[in-house]
Amino acid sequence: MLKLENITKRFGSVVANRRITLEVAPGEVLALLGENGAGKTTLVSILYGLYAPDEGRILLEGKEVRIPSPKAAQRLGIALVPQHPELIEAHTVAENLALGLDLPAVFSRRALVRRLRALLEGHPLGVDLEAPVARLSAGEKQRVELLRALLNRPKVLILDEPTSVLTPKEAEALFQEIQRLKAVGLSVIFISHKLDEVLAIADRIAVLRAGEKVGEVLRQEADKDLLVRLMVGRSLAPPPKVPPPREEVILEVEDLLVPRHGFPVQGVSFSLRAGEVLGIAGVAGSGQAELVQALAGLRPFRGRIRFREGPWPRDPARLFALGVAHIPEERSMGVVEGMSVAENLALRTYRRFAPGGILNHRAMEKEAEALIGRYGIRTPSPRTPVRFLSGGNVQKVILARELQVSPRLLLAMHPTYGVDVGASEEVHGRILDLVQAGSAVLLVSEDLDEILSLSHRVAALYHGRFVGPIPREEADRERLGRMMTEGRV
C-alpha cells in the first residue's frame, strides 16, 4: 500500500531520519516504536506533507508520489490523528468534522448534520454531533479526530501516540476500533513508545533509534525484552526494590480541602514517613494537579498540614528553603526556555552565586557542569538555552535542580510523562536514591506501573475525592483501576 524508500531528513547538522525504508500492507498495523527524539515525529511529518524529505521516495500503491502539503496527503488518502486533539473547542462536533470535508461556500447546519450522518454510517459514533467540543472528554475528542480522519475514506491512517491522552478503558475501545478498520483493509501506522500497546495491536513492529531503523520484527517474533534492547540499545535493569520506610514522620495532612472550578479536592488525609513513597493515581483532571499545587504553595486550601512537626508556609520559595522540592506537572512551568541550562539549574539557588550582589556566571556554570555530569543531562554546553534540549533532558534539568539540595520531601507530578524509556529509568533511579537517603516522596502519576513499582502505599483521586491510601502489597492494577474509576477501595 504505502512504501518509504531510503528517506533521509536533515536539520542543519542533525540527521533526524537516515535512510529509512518502511512498508505497510493493506489491512496491516505497522507500529513505529522509538524513544522520544528517535525520529518518529519527523517521519510522520514527512508522510503528512509537513516536511519534504532530503532524499528518498514515497510510493503509494506502487506509484511514486510527492506530498507537498497536508491537503495533498489527504487527497492521496493519507490521514493523521495527531497526538493532541487539534479541534476548535468553541465549535460543535459537526462543525469540526465539517473541516475535513469539501463543502459548498454556503450550507445549512441541518444539511451538514444529515450529510455527516450518511458519511459516518457504519461507524459506531458514541458522540453527539451537536455537542460543543469543549464539553467532551479527552477520549471523546480523540474519537472526533479519528472520525474526521476517516471521513475522506483514507487508505492509510497514521495514529501519533494515540493513547497518551486516554484512560485504560478508552485505550481499549480505541484498539477495538483499530481492529475493525484493519478488517476493512485500511493500512494503519501506529506510533508509540509504550511497549505493551505496541505488542497488543501491531502486526509488524519497526523500531527507530537516533533517526535510524534499527530493526523490524513480526509481532509473533517480538517480546518486550527484544524491543527494549532495540529501542534503548541495551536491556533495562529490573526495577530496584524500594527499602522500607523509617519511623520519623515527615508530612501530616489532615482533612485537606482545595477549592477549584467544578468540584473541590476533599477528604485528603495521610501521613508520610521518611523514606516512604506515596503514589497517587487518578484519571486526568480528577484534582491531582490542584492537590499538588496546594501542597506546593501555589493554591489556597483549608485543612491542616504539619511538616516535620512544624508549620507549613504557603510560599513556594520558603517551602523549598525548608526542604520541599517540587517537580511540576508541566515541564514548561519548571524551566525558562530562553535561559541557559546553567541558569535553569540555578533557578532556586541563584542567590548563592551572588555573594557581593553580582552574579558569578563562571561559578554557576561550573556547578552546572557537575550536575550535568551527575544526572547525565545531554546538552552541548551549560550555556545552551534549555529550548534546544529534548523533553527527557529538560526533565533531568528540573530533577537535578530540585534534588541537588537533598530535599526532605519531594512532590513529583508526572515525573516521566513524555520521557523515553532510558530517561525514565534514570529518573526513577534518582528518585529511589533520594528515598534511600531518607526523604519522603509524594508521587502523582497517570502511569499505574510507575506508581506500583515505586510506592509503599497507593491512593487515588476520584472526582476530587481522596480514596485510600492502602498498602502497596494489597494493590494491583485492577484494584487501583477501581479506585480511580469508581472511588471505592
Partner 1 sequence: MRWELEPNPTRGKVLGAYALFLLLALFLLGLIFLAYGVPPLKAYALLFSPLTDTLGLAEVARRTIPLLLIGSGLALAFRVGFFNIGAEGQLLLGAVGAAYVALFLPPGPWTLPLMFLLGGSLGAVWVGIAAWLRVRFGANEILTTLMQNYLAYYLVVYLVAGPWKGRQVFGFLYTDRFPPEAQLPRLGDTLVHWPTLVLGIAAALLLQTLLFRTPLGFEWRILGENPKAARYLGLKQGRLLLLAALSSGLLAGLSGVGEVAGIHLRLLEPAQISLGYGFTAILVAWLARGRPLGVLLTAPLLGLVLAGGDALKLALSMPFRVVDVVAGLLLLSFIGAEALSRHRLVWRR
Which residue lies nearer to partner 1 by CB, 147 or 444? 444
CA 354 to CA 370: how far, in whole Å?
19
Instruction: Tell me the residue type at 267.
Output: G
The DSSP H or E segment spanning 61 is none
Residue with cell 470535508: 101
Shortest distance, position 294 Cβ to partner 1, whole Å: 14
**Pairing state of beta strands 409-413 and 440-444?**
parallel
Cβ atoms within 10 A of the Cβ of 248, count?
Answer: 14
Which residue lies nearer to partner 1 by CB, 38 or 319? 319
CA 37 to CA 429: how far, in whole Å?
21
Per DSSP, the three-state class of 160 is strand
Which residue lies nearer to partner 1 by CB, 353 or 466? 353
Shortest distance, position 53 Cβ to partner 1, whole Å: 9
List of E strands, 181-307 = 187-192, 204-209, 212-218, 249-258, 265-273, 277-281, 302-307
Shortest distance, position 11 Cβ to partner 1, whole Å: 8
Q: How long, in residues, is the chain?
A: 489
Which residue lies nearer to partner 1 by CB, 48 or 320? 320
Shortest distance, position 330 Cβ to partner 1, whole Å: 8
Shortest distance, position 283 Cβ to partner 1, whole Å: 24
Instruction: Tell me the residue type at 362.
Output: R
CA 358 to CA 341: how far, in whole Å?
19
Which residue lies nearer to partner 1 by CB, 317 or 370? 317
Which residue lies nearer to partner 1 by CB, 12 or 104? 12
Interaction site with partner 1 (CB under 8 A):
11-12, 51-52, 54, 66, 68, 296-298, 315-320, 326, 328, 330, 332-339, 343, 347-348, 350-351, 354, 357-359, 388
Per DSSP, the three-state class of 206 is strand
Shortest distance, position 189 Cβ to partner 1, whole Å: 23
Which residue lies nearer to partner 1 by CB, 65 or 470? 65
Shortest distance, position 348 Cβ to partner 1, whole Å: 7
33 beta partners: 192, 207
